[in-house]
Amino acid sequence: MKDFWKKLAKKWPIPFLAPMDGYTDSAYRQVSKKVNPNVMCVTEFYSADGLVHSKFLADSVLPHQISEKPLIVQIFGKDPENFAKAAKIIERYDVAGIDINMWCPAKKVVNSWHGSGLIINRDTAFKVVEALNKATHLPISVKTRLGWNGPETLIDFVKWLESAGAGLITVHGRTTKQAYLGNADFTQIYELKKNVSIPVVCNGDIKNFDDGINKITCPTDENVKLDGFMIGRGSFWNPWCFVPGGYEPSLNEILEMMIFHGHALVACKWEKKATLDIRKHLVQYLKWFPWVSAYRKRLVTIESIDILQEIIWDIKNEYASSLSLKPSEIIL
Q: Based on the domain organization, do 200 and 276 belong to the same domain? A: no
- Whether the CB-CB separation of 87 and 98 falls below 8 Å is answered with yes
Q: State how far the alpha carbon of 42 is from the alpha carbons of 46, 62, 275, 307, in Å.
A: 11, 11, 23, 31
What tens digit of pLDDT does each residue of 233-245 get? 999 889 999 999 9
Identity of residue 204? G
Same domain, 169 and 28: yes
How remote is the C-alpha of 21 from its chain's centroid? 9
Task: Mark whether 209 and 276 lie in a shared domain.
Answer: no
CB environment 181-195: b (16+ within 10 A), e (fewer): eeebebebbbebbee
Could you tell me which residue, 285 or 143, shows the higher pLDDT?
143
Query: How many domains, the chain?
Result: 2
Residue 308 clears pLDDT 90, i.e. is over it: yes
Q: Are 62 and 99 within one domain?
A: yes
CA distance linking residue 275 with residue 273, whole number of Å = 5
Query: Which candidate, 111, 79, 97, 101, places its Cα nearest to that of 145?
Result: 101
- Which of 242, 265, 286 terminates a domain? The answer is 242
Q: What is the pLDDT of residues 217-226, one digit of tens each?
A: 999 999 999 9
38 class by beta-carbon count within 10 Å (0-12 exposed, 13-18 middle, 19+ buried): exposed
Same domain, 190 and 313: no
Say which range, 13-22, 77-86, 168-177, 322-331, has the weakest mean pLDDT.
322-331
Share of the chain above pLDDT 90, in %: 82
Domain identity same for 184 and 263: no
3-state secondary structure of 314: helix
Q: 135: closest CA among 80, 198, 71, 53?
A: 80
Q: Give me the pLDDT at residue 2, please.
A: 65
Highest averaged pLDDT of the listed ranges 109-113, 167-171, 274-278: 167-171
Same domain for 298 and 174, yes or no, is: no
Residue 1 pLDDT class (50, 70, 90 cuts): low
Residues 115 and 69 placed together within one structural domain of the fold: yes
Residue that is last in its domain, among 242, 268, 301? 242
Same domain, yes or no, for 153 and 289? no
Give 126's pLDDT tier (boundaries 50, 70, 90). Answer: very high
Rounded mean pLDDT, 254-275: 93
Residue ranges making up the domain that contains 282: 251-329
Q: Are 17 and 39 contacting, i.e. CB atoms less than 8 angstroms apart? A: yes
pLDDT at 331 over 80: no
> Which of 184, 213, 242 delimits the end of a domain?
242
Distance, in Å, from the CA atom of 243 to the CA atom of 209, rounded to the nearest integer, reads 6
Residues 166 and 145 both lie in one domain:
yes
pLDDT at 291 exceeding the cut of 80: no
Q: Are residues 233 and 260 in the same domain?
A: no
Q: Are residues 135 and 155 in the same domain?
A: yes
Taking residues 88-106, report their average pLDDT. Answer: 96
Nearest to 100 by CA among 61, 148, 133, 65: 133
Q: Average model confidence (pLDDT) for the chain? A: 94
CATH of the domain at 124: 3.20.20.70
